[in-house]
Structure 1
């Protein structure tokens, strides 16, 4: 049965392919490319790259899994998103505007947090490092709230897929730097790529915390271009907020109305849409927590992981993100959303196969290529879909709710990933993460029958094949 097309954010595909691709050269898309870099830098530095550091320092897999709960800061960002949406920052908001002032403050928190992580050795003060990582995650989540609102307010519904793809491109470029860049710098600082590193035991034997200090200080400095971009960007046209007579009225407008608006527009369909949001990325997120410990345990060196997973793999994600944006313009978001869900879950089975192959860089490259290409397509369509559900009057709060729900369940489940691997091994772990994605396919099909309109949604029949 064919999937029903979205009423928004897409329209019937009338653009030529050249026109569709040209959208990435528009000023709004270029701003999102730059600001996406600022958003993407902190994530790996408190998850993927940090887990490599922790495993090299001898931290056990179960602890690394539980430390992934630092990411719950992203899952609960909706709780303070109304403040970011409405509360001005003294002096700074008058100078920069509401969105850019919050962006600059959050970026400053990230810089300070990364610098503190750089000066901490997890072998000596693991709890201190955890608190620093929480600070980075909080600043990064706050930056996401302001930046998502900035992005949504920077273009109409038709352009949201392209803005999302540009944002993801910058995001993934930052992940190359935060992943491969950090590993390369750490390898260089500890004596270069010639250092023998045949496995986890050898990795621990050559552990040098000073090398990671250099790498993380470099990452902190890498936030500076993003801060400069904020200062040079144009604030979106401010949305007037009616003055509140008292605190109760302000709280109603900041906390109650954004959620009441969503429930009022979608009624009982809201439960279906929220279920899809909560589970769409579960396969990728749960699997991703154990990815770097897996590479260390399989004997891959920093140089191999940096080159294959953090550069080549991220390039494939960029290809997938741009392809997803163009396909969404041509075919509709929901069709691409279904494709992304299918590919994201299926490619996890390739990791199960890889875990039986031993140390093989060529096979690692094949698996990473397929997985990241699928992830880019899925993420591009998913971000556009979340944007289409958002009322511009409450853009920061509603999008923060959606993106928080996207991570809450996956992060909770991912916390036990290390325990699962210790008990059952990598083959069963990767296979189980693929099976987690099966219910998502049904939810996408059901959600495709709900029109994402500004008013009350309607249920549509199956679309005619194009």
Structure 2
């Protein structure tokens, strides 16, 4: 029994290492490469539009549920990533062709996300969701760090083209592993409707028919709102408090990422031991309370070390809350509609997350950092009151495929 559990955790780690690599590459390595090649800031900024692929996943997620097994899509997406990264290393970084290859990269990455998320929901039993999401978040972040800062550091010694080609080899190796590893080949549980239009309607219709569906959607939109709103102003706060780039990179960046990974793993274990219901509100409350640490650290009388402590505590508790929340999102999905429903829910969450971050500057400017961080604590509390209600919307048992 334990052997089967650990095999599943290893598969989850493998899949989310693969899923995290493109994100770090697109948002960290690629902008650095383009700027070193003399591409102007406007063009670099516009290339970020390629990230819309990640926001539009519900447009083709039903196709992943409907056609073939999930691992076919994973292997195809990884081959697409290998091809696009190779082309991005060979083609001059300017013009429409280069933009097309960036879109190929993000489209392949978004497709990989859909297939991996859907397969993971089908793979894990309810009691495995907590540890699975702890492993998932940790593997994803490790991959992001490796393909972001790690790849840039590698390029310092090798040059960007060899670094890009090294990433291509990794994508090809991952594609081969998934293609030949039996643990990734489970038959799809997907329900297939009589027509393609129905395949798009059924996942959304099922969610909207759940008890307290409007409350559920509000909960998904707002569970991480305090974390997201505060997060947009953390780095500006560090700069304005006079911290050096080394301090920001080491404490808030590197050690903060490690604290988040640790929090994710601990959070996954707590979901398993406490149960999803208690873990969601307890870890969510812990996540909210950490905002008070930053509010205190932002007071003019607070010592410099309090900012260090606030950063590490916030990163750790953010990992706790994320592990519980992602486990809830996965449990919310019917296993026979896994890819479609998770893509819908993740897009909804992502939309609110980005909007919250966009509005953070208004609050910090109006109330100062301390007042703003205190405000983010209060807006994080209402979703926690909804936990008993939203659990009534969980599917009791997915219909057989």
Q: Same fold (TM over 0.5)?
A: yes
Root mean square deviation, CA, Å: 4.4
Greater length-normalized contact order (CA 8 Å, ≥ 6 residues apart): 1
The residue that corresponds to 2:385 in the other structure is 442
CA contact (8 A) 2:263 2:317 kept: yes
CA contact (8 A) 2:283 2:321 kept: yes
Q: Distance in 2 between matches of 1:330 and 1:415?
A: 36
- In structure 1, runs of 5+ residues without a counterpart are 1-18, 89-97, 190-209, 457-466
**1:228 and 2:155 equivalent?**
no
Q: Distance in 2 between matches of 1:429 and 1:39?
A: 34
Q: Distance in 2 between matches of 1:293 and 1:150?
A: 38
Aligned with 2:120 (options 131, 151, 154): 151
Aligned with 1:326 (options 262, 269, 273): 269
Is the alpha carbon distance of 1:243 and 1:442 closer, same or farther for their aligned partners in structure 2, counting shifts above 3 Å? closer
CA contact (8 A) 1:23 1:162 kept: no
Measure how far apart 1:397 and its partner are.
0.8
Superposition pairs for residues 164-175 of structure 1, below 5 Å? Answer: 164-175=133-144
SS in 2 for 1:26: helix
Aligned with 1:75 (options 47, 55, 60): 55
Q: Distance in 2 between matches of 1:434 and 1:440?
A: 12
Is the alpha carbon distance of 1:221 and 1:285 closer, same or farther for their aligned partners in structure 2, counting shifts above 3 Å? farther
Superposition pairs for residues 10-409 of structure 1, below 5 Å? Answer: 26-47=6-27, 71-88=51-68, 98-114=69-85, 134-182=103-151, 184-185=153-154, 188-189=156-157, 218-234=166-182, 235-239=185-189, 244=194, 249-252=195-198, 254-264=199-209, 266-267=210-211, 269-288=212-231, 300-301=244-245, 307-351=250-294, 365-409=308-352
Q: Distance in 2 between matches of 1:379 and 1:232?
A: 31
Tell me the TM-score normalized by structure 1: 0.68
CA contact (8 A) 1:71 1:137 kept: yes
Tell me the TM-score normalized by structure 2: 0.77
1:388-445, Cα deviation, whole Å (9 max, x unpaired): 1111111111111111111012223434557877888766665555554233223335
Q: Distance in 1 between matches of 2:121 and 2:381?
A: 30
Is the alpha carbon distance of 1:45 and 1:129 closer, same or farther for their aligned partners in structure 2, counting shifts above 3 Å? farther
**How many residues are aligned here?**
392
Q: Distance in 1 between matches of 2:221 and 2:353?
A: 8
- In structure 2, runs of 5+ residues without a counterpart are none
Q: Distance in 2 between matches of 1:370 and 1:402?
A: 28
CA contact (8 A) 2:79 2:172 kept: no
